[in-house]
Structures are given as structure tokens and as C-alpha cells.
Amino acid sequence: MLAVALVLRVLVPGFLLPGTFLAGASIMTASVLVPQIVKANRGTGWWTGICTMGFGLGAALGAGLVQPLQQALGGSLPLALAAWAVPAVLASALIRRTGSTQSHDSTSPVQRTTAIPGYGAERPVPLRKQRTAWAVTAFFGLQAMLYFAVTSWLAVFLVSKGHTPSDAAALLAWFSIAGLPASLLAPVLAGRRAVLKLMAPGLGLLVAAGLIGVLMAPADQQFLMVGLLGMVQSAGFGLGMALVVIRSAEPTSAGSLSAMSQGLGFALASLGPFGTGFLHEWSGGWDVPFVALAAEAVLLAAAGFFAVRGRAVSVAPAEAEKVSEPVAVGH
């Protein structure tokens, strides 16, 4: 669907807006499915990190390579945009092969099942009644809200601090680049329980400190402060995706939790740029917006604290909610 939408929106007259809508819907659907795919294939923190880092790297490449592609394709912008259907088709082929391999492998061992403690009810607890699900959703939504607010207004803020528009744009790019390693390493470190309990609330506090640091730092220190803020905010996105995998009981639950956390989370995140701009206009400066964002980061720390405690999220029926253990034939 993504490949078709990318082609039709630039080649068919009048299909620009519908094609862009279908492309966006396809991308968001894929984003929701990523944690379930990782969980179903027993992916480690490295795989979750690679996926989250791929979001940032892919976005940067998509924006940066359009003009070179246009030049390589004879100056045609529609062809340069339609060319991104190629990686979409490749991804489709790869994920189909992965699904086929998984289905084949899952039927081979003889299984013994034992019930998960604490889930003895005939019907599963609805997702909306599970505290861990709401905590993970709050964490994902708050970190996304902070990220969208910062990336929308950071360049404008830096210009007000004395930077030229080109320097401000370069610092905004540095914000994203500095965060790429953190988005990879955060899910890896989160795989250790002791680290996760400190990291989930700690990241929120570090984001709050980074926001205040950017607000207070003079112009010649913004390279350092913007880089540090980019690191902790990108780590928050990586941890948000990792929590969906770590705090779900099995792949089906990971898919449901991913849909809830990303669906509601991105809806909440859309308020970030608007709220920040409103506070800037209302106060006539940047102190109030940055302090408000820092306060939101403290709420992010609280959400992280509750997200890593309590039982794992599960939506599976009781009869299917089992832990499978391979057993040798004849036992």
C-alpha cells in the first residue's frame, strides 16, 4: 500500500492529498507493527534499538536525498519522490519471508504449557483497565510530545538567542544526529531489569535538565547543550518503543499495546508544537514554554516509574495465555 501510494500521489493528477494520506496511514501502521514483529521473532534489545534508530536515520535520509535523486533523474521531482516506493517494496518482500519462516519454525517443537501466574480469569482484562498499559502509553505520548515541540520551535528559539537562521538549522540537524546512537543503545540497556528501573524515570529528569540547559546556555554553548538534549530525547523514543516490547506478555499483547501507546501517544504529541507556540505568544518570551516543557518532562519521569512496575500487559484469553516450554519427545 505504501509503495502504491507513493507512486500514485505524484503520477496521477489530483491524487496528491489522497496518496499522501494513504502513505501516512501505511507508515503509521508499520510503526505500530514493529514492536509486535520484534516480540514475535524474539528480538533482543539490539533489534529494538536498530528499529528505533532506523526511524531517525530513515527520516534524515528521506529528507536529504530527495534533491540528489531529482538531479540524478533528470530534474524530475515526481520521479524522485516516487523512487521511495522501491525500499517499500523491498521491505514488503523481507517481512513476508520473515513471517513465513516464523510460521514454519513455530510448529516444529513439541510444547508443554504452564499458566502464567496471576492470569487465571476466564476473560482477559481489557487493555484500558491495565495500569501498565496506561503508564506505557503516557510515557510514549509525553516523550513524543516533547520531541515534536522541541523540533518545531528549537530553530526559532536559537535565532532569538543570536544565531543566524542557517546556524540554527544546522543545530537542529545536530539535535537529530546526536540522538541516533542513544536511540540504538537505550533499548539495549533497557533489557537489564536493574538498569530499566533507573533509566525509565531517570530519562525524564535528564530531559528536564537538558531543556533548562538549552534555555539558560549562551549562544556559544548551544552546540553542546543541543547535542545533549538530542541524546536524551532520542533515548526516550528508543525506550518508549522498547517498553512496548518488554512490558507485554506475548506478541498479540505487544501489538495491542503498540496500537494503544502510539495511537493515543501521537494524538497527545500533536499538542506539543501548538501548546509551545501558544505559551510563547502569551508570555512574549521563551522562559514560560521551556519551563512548561521541563515540567512535562517530570511527568515523563513519573510515567516511566510506573511503566516498569506491576504486571506485564496481556490481552490473551486465559486458555491461550500460556508459557510454552519445548519438551523432548517421549517425556
pLDDT digits (tens, 9 = 90+) for 46-67: 777 787 777 777 777 776 677 7
Q: Is the dihedral of CA 254, 260, 265, 270 positive or negative?
A: positive
Residues of the chain within CATH 1.20.1250.20 domain(s) are 127-307
Q: Are 201 and 190 in contact (CB under 8 A)?
A: no
Question: What rounded mean pLDDT belongs to the chain?
Answer: 82
Quote the percentage of the chain above a pLDDT of 90. 32
Burial of 101 (0-12, 13-18, 19+ CB in 10 A): exposed
Least confident interval from 181-190, 240-249, 322-331: 322-331
DSSP state of 162: T
Q: Are 219 and 163 in contact (CB under 8 A)?
A: yes
Mean pLDDT of 165-175: 87
pLDDT at 98: 59
Quote the percentage of the chain above a pLDDT of 70. 85
Rounded to an integer, what is the distance from CA 272 to the centroid of its chain?
16
Nearest one of 67, 95, 88 to 9, comparing CA atoms: 88
H/E stretch holding 23: helix 16-40
For residue 163, give every residue at least 6 positions away whose Cβ sits within 8 Å of its Cβ, in sequence order, or none. Answer: 171, 219, 222
C-alpha cell at 316: 490473551
Q: At what angle do helices 222-246 and 193-216 cross, to 10 degrees?
A: 150
For the chain, the residue count is 331
On the question of pLDDT at 29 being above 80, the answer is: yes
Q: Which residue has the cell 538549552?
A: 214
Q: Are 144 and 268 in contact (CB under 8 A)?
A: yes
pLDDT at 282: 95
Nearest one of 183, 151, 202, 185 to 308, comparing CA atoms: 202
pLDDT at 99: 54
Least confident interval from 24-28, 108-112, 181-185, 309-313: 108-112
Q: Within 84-164, where are the H helices?
A: 85-106, 131-160
pLDDT band at 4 (very low <50, low <70, confident <90, very high): very high
pLDDT at 121: 46
CATH class of 127-307: mainly alpha
Number of H helices, E strands in the chain: 13, 2
Torsion of CA 64, 67, 73, 77, to 10 degrees: 110
Nearest one of 63, 12, 94, 289 to 176, comparing CA atoms: 63
pLDDT digits (tens, 9 = 90+) for 240-273: 888 888 888 888 888 888 889 888 988 888 899 9
pLDDT digits (tens, 9 = 90+) for 197-248: 899 899 999 999 999 999 999 988 999 999 999 999 989 988 988 888 888 8
On the question of pLDDT at 281 being above 70, the answer is: yes
Q: Are 163 and 225 in contact (CB under 8 A)?
A: no
